[in-house]
Chain A
Amino acid sequence: MNQPASAYFIEDRHDPNETHTLSVLVQNEPGVLARVIGLFSGRGYNIESLTVSETEAQKHLSRITIVTTGTPMVIEQIKHQLDRMIPVYRVVDMTLTRRSIERELAMVKVRGQGEHRVEALRLADAFRARVIDATTESFVFEITGNTEKINQFIDLMRPLGLVEVSRTGVAAIGRGPEGM
């Protein structure tokens, strides 16, 4: 590689990217989400999905689930950078534990009549999506599953009159009796 005129060494990195799901347990206090998001934007890390909610109100604990991509070295950095933040209790790489369940929820609005409408309903049934709103010319389906399943469902709805989608992003939890 030709080194351009620079005071910095500019390097091509060819390590393959990996996708990891991280669970981050944080003190629920003002600005904590901004800190986490600022870390990702400031250091140039990717966020594929981000889910956050208070999980233990008495202890003021929130759980953030982040799906991110990067080289193994970058993923390791992300975990350490998160872990050293003052309000962060724990960071668990759910992908490395290989014992985690990931789910997201999507609400999918489909508009159509006749055969398309019947087909949409049939597919929804096959995907175990529920109808949570209906008019004579539309449905809103609620579907829960892993990201891949939801993507697949949305792809199928597209030719049948897909109007819009609202997704929660991924939430993850470990299998077995232990907590994080």
Chain B
Amino acid sequence: MSDKSHDPNQMTGAAMIVRALIDHGVTDIFGYPGGAVLPIYDEIFQQSEVQHILVRHEQGAGHAAEGYARSTGKPGVALVTSGPGATNMVTPLTDALMDSIPLVCISGQVPTHLIGNDAFQECDTVGITRPCTKHNWLVRDVNDLAKVLHEAFYVATSGRPGPVLVDVPKDVQFATGTYHPPRKSDVHRSYAPRVKGDATQIRKAVALLAGAKRPVIYSGGGVINSGPEATRLLRELVEVTGFPITSTLMGLGAYPASGKNWLGMLGMHGTYEANMTMHDCDVMLCVGARFDDRITGRVDAFSPGSKKIHIDIDPSSINKNIRVDVPIIGDCGNILGDILQVFKAEAKKPDIKAWWQQIAQWRARNSLFYRKSNDVILPQHAIQSLFEATRGKDTYITTEVGQHQMWAAQFFGFEEPHRWMTSGGLGTMGYGLPAAVGVQVAHPDSLVIDIAGDASVQMTIQEMSTAVQYELPIKIFILNNQYMGMVRQWQQLLHGNRLSHSYSEALPDFVKLADAYGAVGLQVHKPGDLDGAIQEMISVKRPVLFDCRVAALENCFPMIPSGKAHNEMLLPEQANDEATAKAFAAGKALV
């Protein structure tokens, strides 16, 4: 007889899960208990290394884990039960897949012998989550569990990061088996993401950059995912080359908004100067971005005269939407380092004075202009005031999805990466509040603000209760216009101003709602009261619902109308009814 009972690596599947979390440096997880995960919750109860945050809905656990991951660079972990627990995770998993967020979800499953039996709270979790994870596993044998858990962490965090799910039947959680710490052989031999860029391609890229007359750097979320070194190198490259730089929604903060080469965000609601620079450039360096349809506008008119260099760790991002001239596959931090090295050794700063003069003319159009009012709060003004009030503070911003999200991207200046958590690819209303919970758990002493809309925030409002329970002083800054603003904007522009179901006839009293949750409610109507109220919100060390009543019919400009190119932007001063009608004439004809 072997003395297996004394082997410290002999343990139950449930114990292995907690042990693996500890071995991967996980200190906080987000979850919700249920029948099929009770053995794991029992293990969690009996230890203190991993803190569990009890959410109010599994979707909240997923977005909180995303916020945690995005603000730390570490993987976020969620724990949910079988059936509805797992299906409620589908939205956050898809969200994390679209935005390349490392997320490890552990789900309970009915016992192995009941799988396929339509058992209580059974669903085909791996089947349902297959298209919305980077990879997923159903573990049928407790002796496979350690290997799968280690592989799950590796897959989630390496290459292009993304969500993974490990489905663990209840009998496997109870069964005893052998655990082993993480080791190299835990990973599929078929999975080997490329890190280092091809040297020939890098030389080609440097030659293009060195010869550029009208260059632009267009960076994305990949730079932030790559880590602090990539951010540092990107900033150095801008410094060394003197090139203008713009960024996608996901990439904000990699280059500081106060930096002198910053053009602002590009794309559908990007600045005029960023989009014109993209359109007229002769060399484009795309770093860790994917030419998404909100970025390119009309693809056949996208930056027609430029040579395009594309750095991406995912080969499937290359030539997906836009044909590029010099693709470089690998980690953008690694490749930026190589590009810098070659550039410094062999090239000198190109003279692009004329290009900067041109950009200055575009900038002078002041595309983010809006008319302030003394009577009503303009949403843009509210964001600017919030930004001014938080300047110099250790601030993290999350958002929901819609007009408020675009205004936040336009008017809040990010100086550092990992400070901006938003649902870019999937566009998930309800992301911001639970994401703020996750961010605050990771950064207990920081100022965490969810810039929200009145419609979005109600999708996951129940997580206020989580914030109160764990004394997480998140600030929910609601730009309340009583509309689903972005839906209404499109209806005004494209559907003959027929505002079908985009107005909320009944809204909760957010101040009373805050009170009911045990949080603090604030409300402001007048521009004159705004700054004081924001100060109060910041100084309160409790969760706050801030009901900021803003001009109801304000719309988000500038804007690339659909089917238009970067140089056909609709600017705020042109956005009167007549010009808008004209810009959308083709669309209106078909309404």
State the Cβ distance, B479 to closest chain A Cβ, in Å. Answer: 21
Is B300 an interface residue, CB under 8 A from the partner? Answer: yes
| Count of residues in B whose CB is under 8 Å from the partner chain | 37
CB-based contact B587/A9 at 8 Å? no
- Answer yes or no: A7 CB below 8 A from chain B CBs: yes
Interface core residue of A8, A26, A84, A88 (most chain B CB under 10 Å): A84
**B563 to A80, Cβ gap below 8 A?**
no
Inter-chain contact A84/B189, CB cutoff 8 Å: no
On chain B, the residues within 8 Å of A89 by CB distance are 189-190
Question: Closest residue of chain B to A73, judged by CB?
Answer: B319
Q: How far is the CA of A89 from the CA of B138 in the complex (A)?
A: 21
The yes or no answer to B297 lying at the interface (CB within 8 A) is yes
Contact B588 A77 (CB under 8 A): no
A11 neighbours in B (Cβ, 8 Å) = 298-300
Q: Does B135 contact A (CB under 8 A)?
A: yes
Find chain B residues with CB under 8 A from A8 CB. Answer: 293, 562
A5/B587 contact (C-beta < 8 A), A27-B188, A87-B190, A88-B190 known: yes
| Minimum CB–CB distance for A58 against chain B, Å | 14
Docked complex: A1-33 residues within 8 A CB-CB of B: 2-11, 26-27, 30-31
The docked-state distance in angstroms from the alpha carbon of A67 to that of B591 is: 40
Are B562 and A86 in contact, CB atoms less than 8 angstroms apart?
A: no
Contact of A7 among B160, B318, B562, B588 (CB under 8 A): B562
Residues of B near A88 (CB, < 8 A) are 190
* B-contacting residues, A54-70, CB 8 Å: none
Q: Is the CB of A34 within 8 A of B130?
A: yes
Chain A residues with CB under 8 A of B38? none
Q: Assess whether B297 is in contact with A80, with CB atoms less than 8 Å apart.
A: no
- A77 B131 Cβ-Cβ under 8 A: no
Given contacts A35-B130, A87-B188, whether A2 and B138 have CB atoms under 8 Å apart is no
Q: Known contacts A9-B562, A83-B315; is A2 also within 8 Å of B130 by CB?
A: no
Tell me the chain A residues, 95-143 only, with Cβ under 8 Å from chain B: none
Within 8 A of A (CB), among B92-147: 126-127, 130-131, 134-135, 138
How far does the alpha carbon of A7 sit from the alpha carbon of B155 in the complex, in Å?
Answer: 34
Q: Is A76 an interface residue (CB 8 A)?
A: yes
Q: What's the Cα separation between A5 and B493 when bound, in Å?
A: 9
Interface residues of B in 555-591 (CB under 8 A from A): 562-563, 584, 586-591
B495 contacts chain A at the CB level, 8 A cutoff:
yes
Nearest Cβ in chain B — how far from A82, in angstroms? 9
CA distance A11 to B564 in the complex (A): 12
Whether A31 contacts B126 in the complex (CB less than 8 A), given A86-B190, A87-B188, A87-B190, comes out as yes
Count of A interface residues, CB-CB < 8 Å: 30
CB distance B588 to A5 under 8 Å? yes
B314 within 8 A of A: yes
> In this assembly, does A151 line the interface, its C-beta being within 8 Å of a C-beta of chain B?
no
Q: Quick check: B563 and A10 within 8 Å, CB to CB?
A: yes
Task: Tell me if B361 is interfacial: C-beta within 8 Å of chain A.
Answer: no
Most buried by B among A3, A31, A81, A83: A3
Which of A4, A34, A77, A86 meets B188, CB within 8 Å? A86
Whether A3 contacts B319 in the complex (CB less than 8 A), given A8-B293, A38-B130, A42-B131, comes out as no
Which residues in B have their C-beta under 8 angstroms from that of A76? 319
Q: What is the bound-complex CA distance between A83 and B317, given in angstroms?
A: 12
Contact yes or no, B316 A80, CB < 8 A: yes
Least CB distance from A168 to B in Å reads: 25
- What is the distance, in angstroms, from B58's C-beta to the closest C-beta of chain A? 23
Chain A positions within 8 Å of B190 at CB level: 26-27, 86-89
Chain B residues, Cβ within 8 Å of A83:
315-316
CA distance A88 to B316 in the complex (A): 14
Query: Across the interface, do A31 and B297 meet the contact criterion of CB distance under 8 Å?
Result: no
Most buried by B among A6, A7, A10, A85: A7
Does B265 make an interface contact (CB < 8 A)?
A: no
Which residues of the partner chain A approach B591 to less than 8 Å between Cβ atoms? 5
In the complex the two chains form, is A5's CB within 8 Å of B130's CB? no
A87 to B297, CA, bound (A): 35
Residues of chain A with a CB closer than 8 A to B449's CB: none
A87 to B319, CA, bound (A): 23
Q: How far is the CA of A35 from the CA of B191 in the complex (A)?
A: 15
- Can you add 15 more A-B contacts, CB < 8 Å, to A2-B590, A6-B562? A3-B562, A4-B590, A5-B584, A5-B591, A6-B494, A9-B563, A35-B130, A73-B319, A73-B320, A80-B316, A83-B315, A86-B134, A86-B135, A86-B188, A88-B190
List, sorted by A's number, 27 A–B pairs whose CB atoms are closer than 8 Å. A2-B586, A3-B562, A3-B563, A5-B495, A5-B584, A5-B588, A5-B591, A7-B490, A7-B494, A8-B562, A9-B298, A9-B562, A11-B298, A26-B190, A27-B189, A31-B130, A73-B319, A73-B320, A77-B320, A83-B316, A84-B160, A84-B315, A84-B316, A86-B134, A86-B190, A88-B190, A89-B190
Q: Give 6 nearest A-B pairs by CB, closest first.
A: A3-B563, A80-B316, A5-B494, A5-B587, A86-B135, A89-B190
